[in-house]
Amino acid sequence: MANANTTAPSIAIVTLGCAKNEVDSQEMAVKLARAGYAVTRDPEEADVIILNTCSFIQVATEESIDTFFELAGLERVVGGESKIVLAGCMPSRYGADLEAELSEASAFVPCSREDDIVEVVADLLPDRVPEPAILEPDGTIGANEYALTTAGDSPFVAYVKISDGCDRMCSYCTIPFIRGRYHSYSLDEITADVAYKVKSGVREITLIAQDTGRWGQDFEERSSLAALMDHLAKRFPQTWFRVMYIQPEGVTDELLQVFGDNENICRYLDIPFQHAAKPVLRAMNRRGNADAFLKLIAHIRETVPDVTLRTTLIAGFPGETEEQFAELIDFIESAELDYVGVFPYSREDGTRAAELEDQVDEEVKQERAQEVRDLADSISAARIADRVGKRIPVLVLGCEEDGQLFGRAQCQAPDVDGVTYVSAGKPGDIVEIEVTGTLMYEMEGE
């Protein structure tokens, strides 16, 4: 149903939350672009604004609501010329309740319905359905399709989701209720996604999911994350591969072997321990304890020298005593991790932890989180400073306003670990540098 209107409606996607949302936004943008819509990065000029929300904790939900009302206040939205679609985790978590609360939205698209985004937009603008784009033989709108549609800030880096959902049911977590049961994506799907991004000029691929270490275990013919990473690293030797969100149980010797065998796999492991005191971990419905985690860390460092380790920790979980918090502090001191993300416990409706007795006082939670933050930062700064004099490869990503080139090394994950300033190279190049200085998370080199 082609319409008389030649100017295709423009669609802007505003992405909040995690890297998984970035992937979902890019996939929605590709569908819309191939259907003939004009994808724009400027919500002010868009005919439809898709807000891809995050809602796993209260703070994220509040940010999504604030952003929604900011967009609802835009001139063209107020004037009725532009419509807002609320997508992602908030409609998945709150469903119909939202429609009453956020009546300014013209449509609500939970994660499970994002594949229908073209129909949703067509229903909103029935008189302006564009002619589908003329696609290249490879089915894309052109070699720059990824660069045009990525929600990320660089065309040289990309995330690839390898599974969705989670079955672990950690007692504080809402994600299983938002993203559903765990299911791996197939090897062919993932390989095709990587090939598409590599063909578009991407040099670094970060594999993501809620539970990356579980990849392939739900297949009839079981496989493993190690097999997947080995396959990708050998199939795309010019591309860096990184993996995030591996639960402790997912770090196998097979995986560490693959890290050692493939130069283009970043020697970087992000393992969310969440806590170290056994009673707290059990109340979180998680396994392990400080000793087991320290043994795992020692084994990883023995098997993969120069490995960079990141974790996530929660402070102030219900029932956490002074002694258990002290055990967490001792663990951080002994583990000496390179990077630590720390959250004060967030009491989330619908989770089992929210019903637990002995909720920790908000002030105490914040104090404990700050204490963990300060200690972890001091350890990170020292470990990063130890890199001075080392020769490392850096993927050049861009130029700052003052012309300073920057990039990231294999020991720096996107969006969380800072950048490296370099003196030569152009965006997309991988250059060898000698680290000459560091400042907290940032590095510089010749």
The site for ligand SF4 (CB under 6 A) is made up of 166, 168-170, 173, 175-176, 210-211, 247
- Residue 416 CA, chain-centre distance (Å), reads 10
Minimum Å gap between C-beta 185 and ligand SF4 is 16
Residue 281 Cβ, how far from ligand SF4 at the closest point, in Å?
Answer: 12
- The minimum distance between CB 258 and ligand SF4, in angstroms, equals 22
Least distance between ligand SF4 and beta carbon 7 (Å): 42
Q: Which CB sits closer to ligand SF4, 247 or 289?
A: 247
Tell me the C-alpha distance between 416 and 430, whole Å: 20
How many CB atoms neighbour CB 316 within 10 A? 23
Which of residues 58 and 404 has its CB atom nearest to ligand SF4 in the complex? 58
Q: Which is nearer to ligand SF4, 210 or 324 (CB)?
A: 210
Of 243, 172, 169, 180, the closest CA to residue 212 belongs to: 243
- Minimal distance, residue 439 CB to ligand SF4, in Å: 32
Q: Which is nearer to ligand SF4, 177 or 441 (CB)?
A: 177
- Look up residue 129 and give its amino acid: V
Beta strands 183-184 and 163-164, pairing class: antiparallel
What is d(CA 150, CA 24) in angstroms, rounded to the nearest whole number?
Answer: 10
When the beta carbons of 41 and 287 are compared against ligand SF4, the nearer one is 287
The residue (of 60 and 148) whose beta carbon lies closer to ligand SF4 is: 60
Using CA atoms, how far apart are residues 4 and 100, in angstroms rounded to an integer? 35
Do the strands 308-315 and 339-344 form a parallel or antiparallel pair, or are they unpaired? parallel
The answer for residues whose C-beta is within 8 angstroms of residue 338's C-beta and 6 or more apart is: 308, 309, 310, 380, 383, 384, 411
Tokens of residue 393, six digits: 């490869």
- Of 19 and 166, the one with the shorter C-beta distance to ligand SF4 is 166
Would you state the torsion angle of the CA atoms of residues 125, 126, 128, 133, taken in this order, to the nearest 10 degrees? 100
Least gap, CB of 120 to ligand SF4 (angstroms)? 27
Query: Rounded to the nearest whole angstrom, what is the least distance from the CB of residue 270 to ligand SF4 in the complex?
Result: 12
Q: What is the 3-state secondary structure (H, E, C) of 49-61?
A: EEEEECCCCHHHH
